[in-house]
Structure 1
Amino acid sequence: MFIPNNYKNENIEEVKDFLNQNSFGILISQVDGKIAGTHIPMQLDTDENGESVLVGHIAKANPQSKYLKSEEEILAIFNGPHSYISSSWYQKEDAPTWNYIAVHVYGKVKIIEGDELLESLKKLVDKYEKNSENPMSVEKMSSTTLKQVNGIVGFSIKINEIQAAYKLSQNREIDYHSITSELKKKGDSNSMGIVNEMEKTKK
């Protein structure tokens, strides 16, 4: 991913926190000589050696699953908030732009099965059920429901590289207050998300 130096985030702990908070991404790989992508949750975890991995699963019916092979290079893309930035918010005329956060994760895939796959599903369900009024868990699921595990392909991605773009008007110091003020007026979740991230850079 092309990232101008001003927008690179090399704080790995901050980026990992982003991945934990924005775990619904796009799994990119080759399918019969073409690029394919699947939108799925991928959880940041550590393997038996303490190294960072992404863990997820896709349906066996998905053609992409048939081409996932151990040691294959994989790309996973994750997006955060994003918003249009109007040039009318600048003190001096210039081109409008877009603020955003995007993270690309590169690594090698490994197919996971059996107890390892089941454990990954437990972690996934527990993470998103913890705030439910009546949380469900894999342990509570019937054998009939758990048979659906036979219809998925689990995987882990050993992370080789993380590229993180945090484009937050870092080159617009003089226009910072105007930009954040106008974004607050818009009030939608993406605009407010960008405001929150811009404010973090000032702390």
Structure 2
Amino acid sequence: MYLPAHFTESRADEMHRLIAAHPFGILVTRSTDGLDADHLPFAFDAAAGRHGVLTSHVARANPVWEKCRDGDAVLVIFRGPEAYISPNWYPSKHETHRQVPTWNYQVVHAHGTLHIHHDEKFLRGIVGRLTRTHEERTGEEHPWRMADAPHDYMAAMLATIVGLEIRITRLEGKSKLGQNKETRDRENVARILRERGDADLAIAMTRSLAADK
């Protein structure tokens, strides 16, 4: 990933926050067939290992776990908030006309090694963690639990999936939030984004502005 110094996101806590807020990642793998990408929900344990551990699962019918060897290097991409930025949103544009369109965004690349799990204990653990996290986000009065399903049915469902563990070796973050623009331009873009419903990106830009002051 191209990382100009002013857009580099080096704060571990911010990268962890982005992963937690946008857990549906893209797992990029390489095999003898070339590059492949799988779109998966991940659970993230920041305290595990040196840089944290990601866990997920795929259908047993998905060939990714057979094409990749245990320990292979992989990449998981987590996309945060993003939006197109019009030059018209910069006050300076109306004075000098020296602005062009761009795209503001946040993204995290998690580099690591892939490890395959078939044991039921691991599978129950990852399904349980993902379920608890995302059922809470639904706001359901009675969140769904694995125990709600008959034991034999749940066992049969678990038998159709394979567990994935990515032991992170390096995190790369990028927060392209207009840091190369004038303060008044950044403030106005954040205001317009908020008005247009892109609140997450507006908040990120406002935090970035505060950090630079």
- With normalisation by structure 2, the TM-score equals 0.86
Secondary structure of the corresponding residue to residue 3 of structure 2: coil
Corresponding residue to 2:189 among 172, 176, 179? 179
Q: RMSD of aligned C-alpha atoms?
A: 1.8
CA contact (8 A) 1:60 1:66 kept: no
1:1-203 equivalences in 2 (<5 Å): 1-45=1-45, 52-90=52-90, 91=92, 92=96, 93-114=98-119, 115-130=121-136, 131-142=139-150, 143-172=152-181, 173-185=183-195, 187-188=196-197, 191-203=198-210
Name the CA shift for 1:164/1:148 in 2 (closer, same or farther; >3 Å).
same
**One-letter amino acid of the counterpart of residue 159, structure 1:** I
**One-letter amino acid of the counterpart of residue 25, structure 2:** G
Secondary structure of the corresponding residue to residue 99 of structure 2: coil
State the identity %.
Answer: 26
Secondary structure of the corresponding residue to residue 201 of structure 1: helix
Decide which moves more: 89-98 or 118-127. 89-98
Shift of 1:50: 7.1
Secondary structure of the corresponding residue to residue 133 of structure 1: coil
Shift of 1:71: 0.7
Shift of 1:120: 1.4
Shift of 1:161: 0.5
Decide which moves more: 176-185 or 110-119. 176-185
Shift of 1:95: 1.9
What are the superposed Cα offsets for residues 157-187 of structure 1, whole Å, 9 maximum, x if unpaired? 11001111100001112412221233234x1
Name the CA shift for 1:84/1:177 in 2 (closer, same or farther; >3 Å).
same
**One-letter amino acid of the counterpart of residue 154, structure 1:** G
Secondary structure of the corresponding residue to residue 199 of structure 1: helix
The answer for unaligned runs of 5 or more in structure 1 is: none
CA contact (8 A) 1:31 1:63 kept: no
**One-letter amino acid of the counterpart of residue 203, structure 2:** N
Shift of 1:192: 2.2
The answer for unaligned runs of 5 or more in structure 2 is: none
- With normalisation by structure 1, the TM-score equals 0.90
Name the CA shift for 1:59/1:31 in 2 (closer, same or farther; >3 Å).
farther
